[in-house]
Amino acid sequence: MPETMTTAAPSAVTLTIDGKTVTAPPGTLLIEAAKQAGIEVPSFCYYPGMALQGACRMCLVSIEKMGKLQTACTTTVAPGMVVHTENDEVRNARKAMLEFLLTNHPLDCPVCDKGGECELQDAVFRYGAAETRFMESKLHHEEKQFSKLIYYDWPRCILCYRCVRVCDEIMDVNAYGVAFRAAHSEIIPNRGEKLECEECGMCVDICPVGALTSGTYRYKTRPWEMNYTGTVCNHCGDGCKTTLSIRNNEIIRANNRDHSGINGEFLCVKGRFGWDFVNSQERLLEPRVRRNGSQAPASWDDALGLAVERLKAVIKEHGRDAVAVIGSNRTSNEENYLLQRLARSVLGTNNIDHHRTADYASLVGALTAAGAKDRHATMAEIASANSILLIGNDPTQQHPLVALQIREAVRQHGAHLYVINRNRIKLAERQAAVFAEVKNETEALASLIGDSPSGELAALREKLQAESDTVVIFGSEIQGRDVQRLVRWALALPGRTRFVALGDYANSRGAADMGLLPNTLPGYSPVSDVAASARFESVWGGSIPSKPGRNIREIIVDIDSGAIKALLVFGSNPAKTFGVSKETLAKLSLLFVADLFPTETAAMADVVVPAASFAEKSGTVTNLCGEVQALRKTMRKAGTRSDFEILLALARLLGAAWPYRTPDDVLREIVERVPGYSIALPHLLVGGAVPTRPEGAPLALERADLVFSSGDSLFTSGSVSRFSWALNAPEEARRPRGHIF
């Protein structure tokens, strides 16, 4: 959420707070002006970026020449104002408010989830009294389960209405209301007895006390018993920063604890609750090898040994192009880089691809060709945009952080949203200035940029051309040459047009950037580009095949035809995503799968090895805006190995001498060798998101069916969400996709 404060304008107001001279722009709230001067005014209901309530009265301060105390959260600065935040009157008022709050409060701190990180506890500790004069019996209402993931404990609620506002104003879901009145006022779901919402848990996160608690975290631990590690959500491509709270080697909770990074305090249901797949009982924990038709447990040595033995045999008998590799949308940049190095320089083939969920190659190619390689929008630039063109996709379902940024742009500074979509998506219904409901986004694009756009598209184009600055966001519907056309047309709009392609998963963009493509090296130069290849050959030794390899559709066809005999699959489930049949996969001499779970593909494998999840490894990922962030190892899962370790072992067994000892070693090579990735490492290390500027002249998209989105909903995440309790438990998860709350 953007800060409400702006930097001092020339017409700044000067006032005095606690004897300090303070200068602030006109319109600044007293509480913010005080904060700038290093003076904390306690507050509960005030929350930057949300509507003012004047409800908790904690922020009462005394202003000279005003008869009574005033709320610092609703009073704006005025010239010459003299404010006291620490005199007896103010201190007594604070103490009184806290005494009031505690009258009906259960004071069950010893068992409350919030104990230790509760704003009420902290305020009482700092400003309150040690004894109570309240002799009456406390009011009580029973706790309610608002949903499987969210519980409400009325007696603890201080009625600050943060939950109501975050859901309404920030999430645009409006799931909460207030019922009854006086001391019986309570927070209720707006649509019946239970919450009907996105289950993002923003309300739980923002609740200052233990009134709203998380269905996955409640009564499990005390905050001081956990370790905290900042990392990146592994679900969609938005790349939210998150802090995993770990106890006894188990994730207990996720929240973006310090509110830093591209997402502030935001996490969607997947980020906040859907990490539990990591703890799933169904995780693969030992390698398995197929012997006499069925898989049986094996040691790591046996499993990798068998895989390498078969690989060598296939290469010997059928040549290097009888081997193919399918990579992942979720593994780290370092792992992806090593995977394509394994394919290109160890196995000696360009038969490498992945499920492409957005056409990054075409976007980079088009921007490079137009001399506009810096026109990738950052996540923050979406929220600060004046105008946004959204073609295809449904960010509310598929890219919750992008959707939030779009809503914030509209809410905070009245940005204009233009939507072209075949469905009446929520952003179109709720935020769009112009919505063109079309049969097909590709045809609509042709019409939009053609000679005579039809209907709504004409109006949309006219308005766009009058905008000062536009961010263009598009889904997988726009691909190949259409990306080039869109880029060329949109760059001619007024201002610095910037672009975002919406790829499905945590490292969809990184997979493309790192060259998990049959015709493209890391950084988007074609494999046929001798100079580009030399960049890598000079450190890898040997030579990279210059002929483009098979794409994923061709790989599948050639498994069937018998031309491909060995397939290595890392963190991908082509049997489901591409509908590869068991019969086809059975034709392989070697199907090697590294995965977290016994997927449909893993079930057919000759060798399956248990891979580590995002929480169990270090490395970097690149979000759909091209921003690189660091994954940090938070825990270990006995029996698993990271893809990094697996790849290192395979390379060694295949006779390659790789110099890497840690993912950092690989990252340094990426920074040095991959065009656009020469990023500042210190920023990354402190948890920042570092933009990349890839450039290259990749070959044209080979065919249309290579780029498609899985169309996940808020509650699904490819093959992974099946193994999450939290993503299946909410009622809403069973609603038809696209259901608008």
Partner 1 sequence: MSDYESYLKGSPLEVQVISRRFRIPNITSIDVFLAHDGYKALAKALKMKPEEVINEVKNSGLRGRGGAGFNTGMKWSFVPRQSPKPKYVACNADESEPGTCKDRPLMEYDPHQLLEGIAIAGYAIGSHQGYIYIRGEYRYLMDILDRAIAEAYARGYLGKNILGSGFDFDIATHTGAGAYECGEETALLNSLEGFRGNPRVKPPFPAVVGVYGCPTVVNNVETLSNVPAIILNGADWYAKLGTPKNGGTRLFCLSGHINRPGVYELPMGFPLRRMIEEVGGGIPGGKKLKAVIPGGSSCPVLTADEIDVAMDFDSVAKIGSMLGSGGVVMIDEDTCMVKMALRIMKFYAHESCGWCIPCREGTSWLEALLERFHSGAGLATDADTALDVSYNMLGKTLCPLGDAAALPTISIVKKFRGEFEEHLKLGACPYERKAVAVA
Q: Is 73 in the site for ligand FES (CB under 6 A)?
A: yes
Residue 158 binds ligand FES, judged by CB under 6 A: no
**Is residue 44 involved in binding ligand FES (CB under 6 A)?**
yes
Judge whether 535 and 529 are in contact, CB under 8 Å: no
Q: Helices in 590-736 by DSSP H: which ranges?
A: 600-603, 643-653, 663-673, 681-685
Check residue 93 for interaction with ligand SF4 (CB under 6 A): no
Q: Which of 46, 154, 277, 435 binds ligand FES (CB under 6 A)?
A: 46
| Cβ pair 637, 661 in contact under 8 A | no
Counting contacts by CB under 8 A, is residue 180 touching partner 1? yes
CB under 6 A: which stretch of 44-52, 515-523, 577-585, 656-664 binds ligand FES?
44-52
Contact 341, 350 (CB under 8 A): no
Decide which of partner 1, ligand SF4, ligand FES, none touches 97; Cβ closer than 5 to 8 Å per partner kind.
partner 1
Determine, following the binding rule CB under 6 A, whether residue 40 of this chain makes contact with ligand FES.
Answer: no
Specify the 3-state DSSP secondary structure of 126: helix
What's the CA gap between 649 and 451, in Å, rounded? Answer: 57
In the complex, least distance from residue 270 CB atom to ligand SF4, rounded to whole angstroms: 4
Asked if 159 is part of the footprint of partner 1 (rule: CB under 8 A), the reply reads: yes
Q: Does 28 bind ligand FES (CB under 6 A)?
A: no
SS3 label, residue 284: coil
Give the nearest distance from C-beta 265 to partner 1 in angstroms.
24
Q: Does 615 bind ligand SF4 (CB under 6 A)?
A: no
User: Coil, strand, or helix at residue 705?
Assistant: helix
Q: Which stretch in 38-46, 289-297, 592-600, 681-689 sits in contact with ligand FES by CB under 6 A? A: 38-46
Tell me: does residue 91 bind partner 1 (CB under 8 A): no
- Tell me if 674 contacts ligand SF4 by CB under 6 A: no
Q: Spell out, one character per residue from 356 to 385, where the chain touches ligand FES: x when CB under 6 A holds, - when not.
A: ------------------------------
Which distant-in-sequence residues (6+ apart) come within 8 Å of 411 by Cβ?
A: 169
Residues 375, 377, 382, 384, Cα dihedral to 10°: -60
> How far is Cα 703 from Cα 310, in angstroms, rounded to an integer?
32
Q: Using the rule CB under 6 A, is 59 a contact of ligand FES?
A: yes
Handedness of CA 380, 381, 383, 388 (dihedral sign): negative
Q: Which residues, 265 to 284, sit near ligand SF4 by CB under 6 A?
A: 267-268, 270-271
Beta bridge partners of 472: 389, 499
* Interface characters, 195-224, with ligand SF4 (x: CB under 6 A): -----------xxxx-xx------------
User: Can residue 406 be called a binding residue for ligand FES (CB under 6 A)?
Assistant: no
Rounded-to-integer distance, Cα 310 and Cα 157, Å:
63
Binding residue for partner 1, selected from 8, 9, 129, 139, defined by CB under 8 A: 139
Q: How far is the CB of 235 from ligand SF4 (least distance, A)?
A: 3
CA distance 245 to 262: 20
Contact call for residue 55 and ligand FES (CB under 6 A): yes
Q: Is 123 in the site for partner 1 (CB under 8 A)?
A: no
- CA–CA separation, 707 and 358 (whole Å): 6
Task: Report the distance separating Cα 291 and Cα 357, nearest Å.
Answer: 35
CB of 125 to ligand FES, least distance (A): 18
d(CA 516, CA 246): 33
Rounded CA-CA distance 597/278 in Å is: 10
Among 140, 181, 439, 661, binds partner 1 (CB under 8 A): 181
What is the total count of residues that contact ligand SF4 (CB under 6 A)?
A: 26
Return the bridge partners of 189, or none: 176
Query: Binds 46, which of partner 1, ligand SF4, ligand FES, none (CB < 5 to 8 A, cut-off by type)?
Result: ligand FES
Computed from CA positions of residues 73, 79, 85, 90, in that sequence, does the dihedral angle turn out positive or negative?
negative
Please list every residue from 392 through 411 that binds ligand SF4, using CB under 6 A: 400-401
Residue 264 near residue 204, CB atoms below 8 Å: no
Neighbours of 223 (CB within 10 A): 16
Q: How far apart are CB 725 and ligand SF4 at their closest, in Å? A: 16
Whole-angstrom distance, CA of residue 249 vs CA of residue 284: 17
Q: Which is nearer to ligand SF4, 236 or 615 (CB)?
A: 236
- Beta pairing partners, 707: 356
> CA-to-CA distance for 175 and 410, rounded, in angstroms?
20
**DSSP state, residue 290:** E
| Inter-residue contact 60 to 11 (CB < 8 Å) | no
Q: Which two tokens stand for residue 5?
A: 């404060």
60 binds partner 1 (CB under 8 A): yes
**Contact yes or no for 683/201 (Cβ under 8 A):** no
**Does the footprint of partner 1 cover residue 99 (CB under 8 A)?**
yes
534 near partner 1, judged by CB under 8 A: no
**List of residues 6+ apart from 38 with CB closer than 8 A:** none
| Nearest distance from C-beta of residue 157 to ligand SF4, angstroms | 3
Q: Among ligand SF4, partner 1, ligand FES, none, what binds residue 59 when CB lies within 5 to 8 Å by partner kind? A: ligand FES
User: How many residues in the shown chain lie near ligand FES by CB under 6 A?
Assistant: 12
- Would you tell me how many other CB atoms lie within 10 Å of the CB of residue 682? 9
Q: Which does residue 238 bind out of partner 1, ligand SF4, ligand FES, none, counting CB within 5 to 8 angstroms by kind? A: ligand SF4
Is there a contact between 618 and 331 (Cβ–Cβ < 8 Å)?
A: no
Q: Does 233 bind ligand SF4 (CB under 6 A)?
A: yes
300 binds, among ligand SF4, ligand FES, partner 1, none (CB under 5 to 8 A by kind): none
With binding defined as CB under 6 A, does residue 239 bind ligand SF4?
Answer: yes
Cβ nearer to ligand SF4, comparing 159 with 361? 159
Using rule CB under 6 A, residue 56 touches ligand FES: yes
509 binds ligand SF4 (CB under 6 A): no
Which entry of ligand FES, ligand SF4, partner 1, none binds 103, CB below 5 to 8 A by partner kind? partner 1
Spatial distance between the Cα atoms of 703 and 325, rounded to a whole number of angstroms:
19
* Site mask for partner 1 (CB under 8 A), range 362-381, x = bound: --------------------
CA 642, chain centre distance (Å): 21
175 sits near ligand SF4 (criterion: CB under 6 A): no
Three-state secondary-structure class, residue 252: strand
Cα separation, 273 vs 338, in Å, equals 31
* 54 is a site residue for partner 1 (CB under 8 A): yes
Which residues here bind ligand FES, judged by CB under 6 A?
43-46, 54-59, 71, 73
Which residues here bind partner 1, judged by CB under 8 A?
52-58, 60, 67-69, 74, 92-93, 96-97, 99-101, 103-104, 133-137, 139, 158-159, 177-178, 180-185
Which residues here bind ligand SF4, judged by CB under 6 A?
157-163, 187, 206-209, 211-212, 233, 235-236, 238-240, 267-268, 270-271, 400-401
